[in-house]
Amino acid sequence: MAKKFGIFFTLFCILSTSCLGDWNILSQHKTNSGLKISLKNYCESWRMNVELHNIRDYVVVPQECVAYIGKYMTSTQYKVDSERTINECILYLSTNCILENDGKDAWIFDIDDTLLSSVPYYKKNGFGGNKLNVTSLEDWMSQGKGTAVEHSLKLFNHLKGLGVKIFLVSSRREHLRSATVDNLVKVDFYGWNSLILRDQEDECKNAQTFKAEIRSKLISQGYRIVGIIGDQWSSIEGLPSAKRSFKLPNPMYYVA
Amino acid sequence: MAKKFGIFFTLFCILSTSCLGDWNILSQHKTNSGLKISLKNYCESWRMNVELHNIRDYVVVPQECVAYIGKYMTSTQYKVDSERTINECILYLSTNCILENDGKDAWIFDIDDTLLSSVPYYKKNGFGGNKLNVTSLEDWMSQGKGTAVEHSLKLFNHLKGLGVKIFLVSSRREHLRSATVDNLVKVDFYGWNSLILRDQEDECKNAQTFKAEIRSKLISQGYRIVGIIGDQWSSIEGLPSAKRSFKLPNPMYYVA
């Protein structure tokens, strides 16, 4: 696989005449410190540091890693990584004293790449290597073709079975409400308590602020947010926080 | 490599008669959902979910992943991952308006597996697969044989050059002070502002509480904590927080 990336990388560099980031001395394949590495090493370290939240606010996946990220997002590894996250949520829910069962236990889900996969969209749009085109993405969303992030359905149904109130909190805009509901139901997500999208007054807020405000409102309504699961750090960070938060892998894009 | 892990895993399972965690149906090599995976897939998803902070409070690395974790911790990949984290810190420090240059800019470092590598110790002690033996680990620490986490020295010296005050905050106990100083200096870490270890009154606190209290004290002394770097989430999480935090990879052990 390293060889394949090497070939891709060489071709890319010949065609583009320059390479981005740390990877700018083609002939050496070395990091700043002189460490000899493969393109796979480089892209894997990029992905790991994205997931560790050390790399933030990136606009596009580095060009030289687009093939690697595409491969990861369509791999068994991505499925296993996500399934493990879901299983850890279920394990957490089995801990004593997490739930009070008084109708005020709440769980928050992101939508994109948490419940509905946008991999089919990004597959046709450069796997995060192209700058986000909101019109094109919203057009795709309005068609309601998102597939289920399959293991998430297990958690969703598990929470329903436990009687936990489910809140879907997404940066999708209000005009996508009907398409979003249709899409969710089509792939078997139904029975949530509330679907909260961004309306006009939220448009100037970043996602983290918007989502933290929603948590604040839920708490003021008496809910205890026992957990959040999302694919972006902005769904999880900021105050007030949930009792526990779970981050699904997603190196394709960054939402602040 | 997958094959090698497969052989190891098969041998392990034959010898131990049972396998732990999700990996308990030897003949199938399937996850709960029926996904067919290799041992490498499984251990990689374990490691990724540790770094995402979805898996917490583990006492030992799962037995079936000890060889995989040992391989990672001694690999080029671990070095590249860590170097990338360090480079992201340096990039962050180059951002406008991060430093005020009034003698109150502060940076916090963990010690173990942030400045001093304990890989030489864990190499001889099961790479996180054995339950922590504090006496044995402290005995090793008292010998001052820790090697430098090499890329961290670059950040350390960069911060010195910028005039940022450096604080070393570690869960190591006070009786290791002299050995720790000797070890740090031997591998070229010197010129810090303060080395803060746990004294007797801190022994009953968990690391996160202890470290958050130290941050609180520094802030009350007028310092602005512009950054923290550590290999444990407990060095970073909790309030008050630093302006930014960076997490180095370390799947060998978990400190709460």
Q: Render pLDDT for B176-204 as a digit per residue (tens, 0 to 9).
A: 999 999 999 999 999 999 999 999 999 89
Which residue did the predictor score with more confidence, B151 or B15? B151
A154–B contact, CB cutoff 8 A: yes
Chain A closest-CA separation from residue B244 CA (Å): 9
Q: At what angle do helices B76-93 and B66-73 cross, to 10 degrees?
A: 50
- Residues contacting residue A54 through CB under 8 Å, at least 6 positions apart: B84, B85, B88, B89, B246, B247
pLDDT at res. B168:
98
Chain B closest-CA separation from residue A89 CA (Å): 8
**The dihedral formed by the CA atoms of B16, B19, B21 and B25, expressed in degrees to the nearest 10:** -160
Nearest CB neighbour to B55, from listed A35, A37, A88: A88
Local confidence band at B14 (pLDDT 50, 70, 90 cut-offs): very low
Q: Which secondary structure element, helix H or strand E, spans residue A117, and what is its range?
A: strand A116-117
CA A92 to mean position of chain CA atoms: 20
Bridge pairing between strands A147-148 and A116-117: antiparallel
pLDDT tens digits, chain A, 256 residues: what are they? 444 444 444 333 333 333 344 444 333 478 878 888 999 999 999 999 999 999 999 999 999 999 999 999 999 999 999 999 999 999 999 998 999 999 999 999 999 999 999 999 999 999 999 999 999 999 999 999 999 998 999 999 999 999 999 999 999 999 999 999 999 999 999 999 999 999 999 989 999 999 999 999 999 999 999 999 999 999 999 999 999 999 999 999 999 9
pLDDT tens digits for range B156-177: 999 999 999 999 999 999 999 9
ipTM for the whole complex: 0.89
B237–A contact, CB cutoff 8 A: no
Domains and CATH numbers, chain B: 2-70 (no CATH), 77-247 (3.40.50.1000)
A35–B contact, CB cutoff 8 A: yes
- Residues contacting residue A218 through CB under 8 Å, at least 6 positions apart: A106, A108, A167, A225
Nearest CB neighbour to A48, from listed B36, B81, B151: B81
A249–B contact, CB cutoff 8 A: yes
Q: Do A81 and B45 touch (CB under 8 A)?
A: yes
- Residues contacting residue A169 through CB under 8 Å, at least 6 positions apart: A108, A109, A110, A196, A211, A214, A235
pLDDT tens digits for range B124-139: 999 999 999 999 999 9
> What is the DSSP track for B185-206?
HHTT----SEEEEE-GGGTTS-
pLDDT tens digits for range B23-42: 443 334 688 788 889 999 99
